[in-house]
Amino acid sequence: MPLSDTSARASGISTTQRLYRAFMGARATLSLALLATQSLASLMGARPSAWAAWLSLLYGVQAVLAWILPRWFGGGTWPPTPDRQSLSWRQITLSIGVDLALFSLLQWWDPAGLSYGALLFMPVLMAGALLPRLPALACAALSSLQLLAVAVWAVMMGLEGGLRISQAGLLGVGLFVVTLLANELASRLAREERAARGSLEYARQQADLNRLVIEEMDEGVLVADRRGLVRTANPAARALLAEGATLRPGPFRLDATPTWAPLLRALTQAYSERSWPDTGRDVLLDFGGGLQRSLHVRMRFTMRSLDGDDLCVLFVEDNRHLEARNRQEKLAAMGRVSAGIAHEIRNPLTAIAQANALLEEDCAGQPRLEQLTRMVAGNVERLKRIVDDVMEVAPGVASIPQTVQLPPLVREYCTDWAATQRLPQDDTSPLRLAISLDETATVSFDPHHLRRVLINLLDNGLRHARPMPAAVRVEVMQEGTEWVRLSVLSDADPIPAEVERHLFEPFFSTRSRGTGLGLYICRELCERYGAKIDFHRQESQHVNEFRVLLPRLASPAGQDTTHER
């Protein structure tokens, strides 16, 4: 693509308007040539008429001003808008119309002087290139008829011979041919420009799409050359390279700070070897103060760029995130295996429980054997709970959310739990319930799973709470405009930091007979329904809080009422 075309397209000027601008320059040149020709003819003795000279001078002034001042003579502003694909009537009149009228007048007023017929090629060519085919052919026909009329008039006046009519006919044919060719070439140029604009717009959309995808990637992406100049870097890469600082997207050099020296050495090595392992290599960045970061770097080389240099695309990722993702994948695989094992254990456990029940009947009156059967029954129940817990969070289990009213369910579950735990029903009870929410507030959750989450949190709170009234509190309230907060607070000692970081991990328990699945199940069930669960220590009240945020479906009530138990 020529540079002029590229710059014109970049500026938003259409093909028609660019051709019009070029023809206006050609008109200005033609007017000066016409004045020069008339002056030369006067010096050689073939003096043109005074009217022809004055018309030529006026035409020269108009053509030059129309070329120099397109805003005044072209109509509208210049450059025109990109969607302007045709000429205005003012532009047509001040260019093609003026040319046809003036050149025709020159022919009529000076039929025996200079031959002005060839000048008609300018307006005809403009019409063929800038107007639709039918109006362009009309201009050619008008010019041809005018030439024939002038030739006939000259013959009738005895100024020319009959050969003048033949010349006018041939010239008219030439005008038609030029019109058709110019119109076809202009149409093809317009089609190519539309195709180019469509391709350019598609390329721009693709570039915007690629930029959006790269900007949203969790993996860091850098584009660098062999000199260590980073052309661009996405936010993830900038966060990995700048610890607690702001880094611009690019360009910047890798030798600007000693921290990036290992990355620059790796880039230089990759360029010198012209290869890099597909699996990547690890690079250690030292930020000072004992802070280091291990990055896993993969490199891919692009085709040779316009400036003759190969570019390298670096994909960087924090090894800690990579290891965490590997652990998640391993946990998912272990979950599937555990679910299969738990399913296979369930049937033997049922058989053991039935056999133990029969033995218990036969061992009636034998204290030692009864103790053994009770021990077997207790461990069978414990294994059943473990199997149920594992099956509850098994991968692939479909969750069907339901629209439920949260306050009545929480009140029902807390009442059932208190009855199961045989808690007193008076003020000495360790359970307190406070609902600061409208009774019709709804959330999306499975009622059975919601009960499981709440019961697990209540068991955990009562287990670690101090033996005192209101040691365990359940609060339900609005959290912002989109969430409902369900909190279980227990008046207990602070949880050690080394224990807190593992609270929601599977099979982690501080009790010898604990399964370590209670809080893990709570987190997994909450994530299934778009809820969030977290632990907070409220030092001001000396309580531990497990907070569950559930997305609220109904609009917040205008005024909430508080219910306490």
Q: What confidence tier does 512 reach under pLDDT thresholds 50, 70, 90?
A: low
* 509 vs 528, residue with greater confidence: 528
| Contact assessment for residue 535 and residue 519, using Cβ atoms and an 8 Å cutoff | no
Q: What confidence tier does 51 reach under pLDDT thresholds 50, 70, 90?
A: low
Residues 6+ apart with CB under 8 A from 499: 510
Dig out the tokens for 150 from the structure.
């002038």
Would the pLDDT of 462 be above 60? yes
Superfamily of domain 218-318, CATH level 4: PAS domain (3.30.450.20)
Q: Tens of pLDDT along 312-348?
A: 888 988 888 887 777 777 767 776 777 777 777 877 8
Q: What pLDDT is recorded for position 463?
A: 85
Would the pLDDT of 226 be above 60? yes
Would the pLDDT of 412 be above 60? yes
Q: What confidence tier does 13 reach under pLDDT thresholds 50, 70, 90?
A: low
Q: What pLDDT is recorded for position 527?
A: 85
Q: What confidence tier does 133 reach under pLDDT thresholds 50, 70, 90?
A: confident
Q: What pLDDT is recorded for position 170?
A: 81
How large is the average pLDDT for residues 46-50? 63
- Of the candidate ranges 12-16, 538-542, 556-560, the one whose mean pLDDT is the lowest: 556-560
User: Cα 313 to the chain's mean position, in Å?
Assistant: 20
Q: What pLDDT is recorded for position 3?
A: 35
How large is the average pLDDT for residues 263-288? 83
Q: What pLDDT is recorded for position 2?
A: 37
Q: What confidence tier does 115 reach under pLDDT thresholds 50, 70, 90?
A: low
Sheet holding 252-253, edge to edge: 252-253, 229-233, 220-224, 310-318, 291-304, 281-288
Q: Residue 562: exposed, middle, or buried by beta-carbon count in 10 A (0-12, 13-18, 19+)?
A: exposed
Would the pLDDT of 81 be above 70? no
Would the pLDDT of 435 be above 80? yes
Dig out the tokens for 126 from the structure.
């403009």
Residues 6+ apart with CB under 8 A from 48: 38, 41, 42, 110, 113, 114
Q: For residues 146 and 134, what is the distance between their CA atoms, to the nearest angstrom?
A: 18
Where on the phi/psi map is residue 244: left (φ > 0), alpha (ψ -120 to 50), or beta?
A: left
Q: What pLDDT is recorded for position 4?
A: 40
Would the pLDDT of 556 be above 60? no
Q: What pLDDT is recorded for position 196?
A: 82
How large is the average pLDDT for residues 547-554? 86
Would the pLDDT of 486 be above 70? yes
Nearest to 473 by CA among 545, 533, 560, 534: 545
Q: What pLDDT is recorded for position 82?
A: 45
How large is the average pLDDT for residues 282-304? 81
Q: Which residue has the tokens 């005018």?
A: 146
Q: What pLDDT is recorded for position 109?
A: 67
* 17 vs 455, residue with greater confidence: 455
Dig out the tokens for 547 from the structure.
């907070």
- Of the candidate ranges 133-137, 271-275, 388-392, the one whose mean pLDDT is the lowest: 388-392
Q: What pLDDT is recorded for position 565?
A: 43
The CATH number assigned to the domain with range 402-553 reads 3.30.565.10
| Global confidence as pTM | 0.45
Residues 6+ apart with CB under 8 A from 61: none
Q: Tens of pLDDT along 348-394?
A: 888 888 888 888 888 877 888 888 888 888 788 777 777 776 676 66
Q: What pLDDT is recorded for position 228?
A: 86
Q: Tens of pLDDT along 295-312?
A: 888 888 876 544 556 788
Where on the phi/psi map is residue 365: left (φ > 0), alpha (ψ -120 to 50), or beta?
A: left
| Percent of the chain surpassing pLDDT 70 | 80
Residues 6+ apart with CB under 8 A from 27: 63, 66, 67, 95, 99, 122
| Contact assessment for residue 523 and residue 508, using Cβ atoms and an 8 Å cutoff | no
User: Cα 242 to the chain's mean position, in Å?
Assistant: 24
Q: For residues 36 and 33, what is the distance between their CA atoms, to the nearest angstrom?
A: 5
How large is the average pLDDT for residues 13-18? 69
